[in-house]
């Protein structure tokens, strides 16, 4: 298959490496410097090159802020039978855009990032495929994600964003709050050091990625849940209520089972 990947960022170059030995792959980025280290791949910086390539599938890997814009800039250079696809971490507005094009599409979300995941062993990681997607597009990504040993789940666009608000927004927000009140420790404990490593890893991510996760329309509800739990915990601590603390810890342990 002839595959065009838009955006030579972390995920764009990763997917290029994954696909370039079984497919004819082209990687497009307006910044030629970002294309320096890809191999067995066509490198493109001009839209006219896309038209000459005639891709059968486009995988849009640019940051969410520019996902739809990247499609808009590219679409007139694509054949009508080309399948559009994205890996955006929040799907708000993407379904509506796809439907406006009249083209086939497949939307997925690999639930890992190059910062935290061990890319040569992804068997503990997951990927989501959007159920409204084109059948052939879903089959392609099921095969690709399966070859990476990812656990594959199929959700609707709405179910995806609800899941992301729970599974990413909560840990992202909790880590940011921890880091915002953190003070350097000369003798940090093990738990503190682990939280520090997580915080440093999170903040090494692109600012737009962090923003797009937290700007998910379902995030505020999850953050309100955190605020409610913090209020309850603070009340227990203020009153030094041992019985309430035991019940609270039991509830938390049950959640972790």
Tens digits of residue pLDDT in 24-38: 999 999 999 999 999
Predicted pLDDT at 235: 96
d(CA 62, CA 212): 12
Phi, psi of 59 (to 5 degrees): -110, 110
What pLDDT digit, counting tens, does each position of 155-187 carry? 999 999 999 888 888 999 999 999 999 887 777
Residue ranges of alpha helices (H) inside 47-124 are 47-53, 67-74, 94-101
Average pLDDT of the chain to the nearest whole number: 93
Q: How many angstroms separate the CA atoms of 204 and 30, rounded?
A: 23
pLDDT at residue number 183: 83
Both structure tokens of 153: 């789940």
Is pLDDT of 117 > 60? Answer: no
Q: How large is the C-alpha radius of gyration of the chain?
A: 21
- CA-CA distance, 97 to 18, in Å (whole number)? 27
Residue 69: its pLDDT value, please? 97
Residue range 232-248: mean pLDDT, rounded? 97
Tokens 């915080």 locate to 199
- Strands (E) across the chain are located at 2-6, 24-28, 42-44, 57-60, 83-86, 105-110, 126-130, 151-155
116 or 74: which leads in pLDDT? 74
Q: Which two tokens stand for residue 172?
A: 């992202």
Q: Per-residue pLDDT for 212 more than 50?
A: yes
Angle at which helix 207-214 crosses helix 170-181, to 10 degrees, equals 120
Could you report the per-residue pLDDT of 79-99, keeping only the tens digit for each?
A: 999 999 999 999 989 999 999
pLDDT at 112: 83
Confidence class of residue 207 from pLDDT cuts 50, 70 and 90?
A: confident
Distance CA 232, CA 250 (A): 14
């Amino acid at each position: 298959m002839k595959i065009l990947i838009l955006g030579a960022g972390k995920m764009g170059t990763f997917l290029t490496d994954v696909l370039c030995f079984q497919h004819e792959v082209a990687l497009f980025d307006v910044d030629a410097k970002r294309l320096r280290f890809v191999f067995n791949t066509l490198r493109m910086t001009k839209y006219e090159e896309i038209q000459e390539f005639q891709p059968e599938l486009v995988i849009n890997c640019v940051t969410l802020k520019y996902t739809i814009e990247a499609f808009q800039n590219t679409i007139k250079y694509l054949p009508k039978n080309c399948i559009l696809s994205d890996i955006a971490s929040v799907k708000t507005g993407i379904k509506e855009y796809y439907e406006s094009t009249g083209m086939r599409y497949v939307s997925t979300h690999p639930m890992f990032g190059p910062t935290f995941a061990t890319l040569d062993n992804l068997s503990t990681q997951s990927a989501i495929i959007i159920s409204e997607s084109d059948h052939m597009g879903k089959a392609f990504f099921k095969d690709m994600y399966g070859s990476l040993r990812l656990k594959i789940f199929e959700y609707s666009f709405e179910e995806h964003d609800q899941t992301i608000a729970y599974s990413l927004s909560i840990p992202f927000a909790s880590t940011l709050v921890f880091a915002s009140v953190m003070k350097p420790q000369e003798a940090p404990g093990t738990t503190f050091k682990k939280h520090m490593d997580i915080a440093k890893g999170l903040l090494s991510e692109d600012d737009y990625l962090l923003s797009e996760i937290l700007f998910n329309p379902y995030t505020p509800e999850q953050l309100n849940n955190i605020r409610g739990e913090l209020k309850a915990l603070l009340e227990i601590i203020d009153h030094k209520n041992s019985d309430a603390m035991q019940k609270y810890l039991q509830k938390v342990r049950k959640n972790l089972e």
